[in-house]
Chain A
Amino acid sequence: MGNAALRDIAAIEEIPFEDVEGVVAVDAHNWLYRYLTTTVKWTDSSKYTTADGTEVANLVGIVQGLPKFFEHDITPVMVFDGGPSDLKDDEIESRREQRRSYEEQLETAREEGDAVAIAQLESRTQRLTPTIQETSRDLLRLLDVPIVEAPAEGEAQAAHMVKRGDADYVGSEDYDALLFGAPLTLRQLTSKGDPELMDLEATLAQHDLTLEQLIDAAILIGTDFNEGVSGIGPKTAISAITEHGDLWSALEARGDHVEHGDRVRQLFRDPDVTDDYEFESTIDPDLEGAKTYVTDEWGVDAGEVERGFERIEESVTQTGLDRWT
């Protein structure tokens, strides 16, 4: 889930929702996971469990989470972690296979004690069940919310899309978005109130670092993919990188070591991303279809999603005056 210590380094400020405009490339796993946790925590599980015991709390989460974007005229693009690039029905099987292959790789990585690979693969296999993966995509498609399949880390792909100018912000709670070079990241999209804006350029300027140096400092502190050096916090990491220039010199000076430092660094500097995606930013949801899917097909208690659907309907039917300016 990223390293919260990065918060002390990042240039973050709360901004009013009204000032947010355009397209947000949302780290879908990160976003869904937040709503899953809340739904599971606060809702009686019978409301989202099918007769055969399958839990689809994700469907409740999606219906509750999307209105926030629509009500502020923001287009969310859901960027999913590693999977096939296009999700037609006949490809679901290939996604299952991909998952199996990830699981096998994960097993191998565990046997070999490859910490980087374990961390990478765990995030892709364990966080969301296959049913959640599939039903989330189905529901998002019915609601006409664009989906992008990342070749690997969704967050890296989202950052890539913002860098290319196809989206305006990355949407993620994860501070790692900075390390993937996301120019602007919106946090707290899943919480009440206004979001936080995390600004890469301002962060670098504040510490007089390059992005490469910021990555190195983060590796010293610890990331999703490495443990970090014990005893090094944000302040020490930055002064060490500033003083010694880069990760290796800083480690050498301290006589410390980071396992697979080069690979972690490469993962942030040159992540596996694709230019092969397209989406439309106008959203025209099939609300009836979505309701039927959630309540009839998956048997979710209608009361749990009623308000969310109402909010979605209201926000897509009411236009804003900015359309005429």
Chain B
Amino acid sequence: MFKAIVSAETLTSALDSVSVLVDECKIHLEEDGLEIRAVDPANVGMVDLSLDAAAFESYEADGGLIGVDLSRLEDIAGMADSGQLIQLELDEETRKLHIQIDGLEYTLALIDPDSIRQEPDIPDLDLPAEVVLEGNDVNRSVTAADMVSDHIALGVDETEEYFYVDAEGDTDDVHLELTQDDLIDLQIGPAHSLFSLDYLKDMNKAIPKDTEVTLDLGEEFPVKIYFGFGEGQGQVTYMLAPRIQSD
């Protein structure tokens, strides 16, 4: 059983943060909220999302599992104007999701969850450095780096105590330093890892610009990027595997 009413913004944010990595996903309809975990086919980027029942106008579920085609569902959610409510109801018999937006009714055929790639195990990471910054600063870093290179280095200078972003292109370079004062918080630790901008750009699209974002970093370790959405009732955690640094 699953029946819920949610604002278009909250649903769209949730779907967007997953669809940057995968086309299809499993959604766990738990009693206390929705949960999604997915990894891209190359096993490089992972998303772990939870959306608390409190984020919904109303929410009833008893632990079911559905598989969805994300772009389909996003298209439907896109039919709602901002501020409109979307009603979702699962028909257990037909395995279809009934979606209502105002007078619009849409019946979405679900995908067999078993046909969707297995949900990933969450890496057990003990990352020494933590950087808390505004989504806008993540956006600036990624956008600037993308102008010169395909990859981006993220690290912490332990002696000078700042977080830095480096991108080296064939001709041009980008460097950005953010000190304790520029950041919301910084926990100093040994950190320097290189990441693919292809992935980071996609993840960046889903990060709200005015939200507090936390980056956990290590040396040649995956980065853990997490932030809240849906007025703090939703939580997205991304993990991105590093590239091996040649020099």
**A interacts with B:** yes
Please list the residues of chain A having a beta carbon within 8 angstroms of any beta carbon in chain B: 16-18, 71, 73, 316-325
Q: Check A73/B125 contact, CB under 8 A, given A18-B117, A319-B244.
A: no
Chain A: minimal CB distance from B163 (Å)? 22
Let me know if B196 is at the binding interface, CB within 8 A: yes
Q: Mark B214-226, 1 if CB is under 8 A from A, else 0.
A: 0000000110000
Let me know if B44 is at the binding interface, CB within 8 A: yes
Chain A: minimal CB distance from B77 (Å)? 28
**Cross-chain contact of B124 among A317, A322, A325 (Cβ < 8 A):** A325
**Cross-chain contact of A71 among B42, B46, B246 (Cβ < 8 A):** B42
A sample of 9 more A-B contacts (CB under 8 A), given A319-B241, A322-B43, is A16-B117, A71-B42, A317-B244, A318-B243, A320-B43, A321-B43, A321-B120, A324-B222, A325-B123
**Complex interface: chain B residues within 8 A of A16 (CB):** 117
6 intermolecular pairs with C-beta atoms under 8 Å apart: A17-B41, A18-B41, A319-B244, A320-B43, A320-B44, A325-B121
**Cross-chain contact of B241 among A17, A18, A316, A323 (Cβ < 8 A):** A323
> What CA separation (Å) do A324 and B121 show in the bound complex?
9
Chain B interface size band reads 20 to 34
**Cross-chain contact of B244 among A18, A71, A316 (Cβ < 8 A):** A316
Let me know if B39 is at the binding interface, CB within 8 A: yes
Q: Are B125 and A324 in contact (CB under 8 A)?
A: yes
**Complex interface: chain B residues within 8 A of A323 (CB):** 241
Q: Mark B97-125, 1 if CB is under 8 A from A, else 0.
A: 00000000000000000000100111111
Q: Mark B43-85, 1 if CB is under 8 A from A, else 0.
A: 1111000000000000000000000000000000000000000
> What CA separation (Å) do A322 and B125 show in the bound complex?
12
Q: Give the residue name and chain of the B residue nearest to A323 (CB).
A: B241
**Cross-chain contact of A321 among B117, B196, B241 (Cβ < 8 A):** B241
Rank and list the top 5 A-B pairs by shortest CB-CB distance, nearest first: A324-B123, A320-B43, A325-B121, A319-B241, A321-B241
**Complex interface: chain B residues within 8 A of A321 (CB):** 39, 43-46, 120, 123, 222, 239, 241
**Complex interface: chain A residues within 8 A of B120 (CB):** 321-322, 325
Let me know if B242 is at the binding interface, CB within 8 A: yes
Among A16, A73, A322, A324, which residue has the most Cβ atoms of chain B within 10 A? A324
Chain B: minimal CB distance from A15 (Å)? 12
> What CA separation (Å) do A317 and B244 show in the bound complex?
5
Q: Check A319/B125 contact, CB under 8 A, given A18-B41, A18-B43, A71-B42.
A: no
**Complex interface: chain A residues within 8 A of B124 (CB):** 324-325
> What CA separation (Å) do A270 and B196 show in the bound complex?
49
**Cross-chain contact of B221 among A316, A324, A325 (Cβ < 8 A):** A324
Chain A: minimal CB distance from B157 (Å)? 24
**Cross-chain contact of A317 among B43, B117, B239, B246 (Cβ < 8 A):** B246
Chain A: minimal CB distance from B90 (Å)? 27
**Complex interface: chain A residues within 8 A of B221 (CB):** 324
> What CA separation (Å) do A316 and B246 show in the bound complex?
11
Within 8 A of A (CB), among B199-245: 221-222, 239, 241-244
> What CA separation (Å) do A305 and B122 show in the bound complex?
37
**Complex interface: chain A residues within 8 A of B246 (CB):** 317
**Complex interface: chain A residues within 8 A of B125 (CB):** 324
Q: Give the residue name and chain of the B residue nearest to A71 (CB).
A: B42
> What CA separation (Å) do A17 and B117 show in the bound complex?
11
Chain B: minimal CB distance from A313 (Å)? 9
> What CA separation (Å) do A89 and B74 show in the bound complex?
60
Q: Are A319 and B41 in contact (CB under 8 A)?
A: no
> What CA separation (Å) do A316 and B121 show in the bound complex?
22
**Complex interface: chain A residues within 8 A of B43 (CB):** 18, 73, 320-322
**Complex interface: chain A residues within 8 A of B41 (CB):** 17-18
Q: Give the residue name and chain of the B residue nearest to A287 (CB).
A: B246
Q: Check A319/B42 contact, CB under 8 A, given A324-B222, A325-B120.
A: no
**Complex interface: chain A residues within 8 A of B117 (CB):** 16, 18
Chain A: minimal CB distance from B79 (Å)? 32
Q: Are A318 and B121 in contact (CB under 8 A)?
A: no
**Complex interface: chain B residues within 8 A of A320 (CB):** 42-44, 241
> What CA separation (Å) do A140 and B45 show in the bound complex?
30
Q: Are B123 and A318 in contact (CB under 8 A)?
A: no
Chain A: minimal CB distance from B191 (Å)? 15
> What CA separation (Å) do A71 and B243 show in the bound complex?
13
Q: Give the residue name and chain of the A residue nearest to B196 (CB).
A: A318
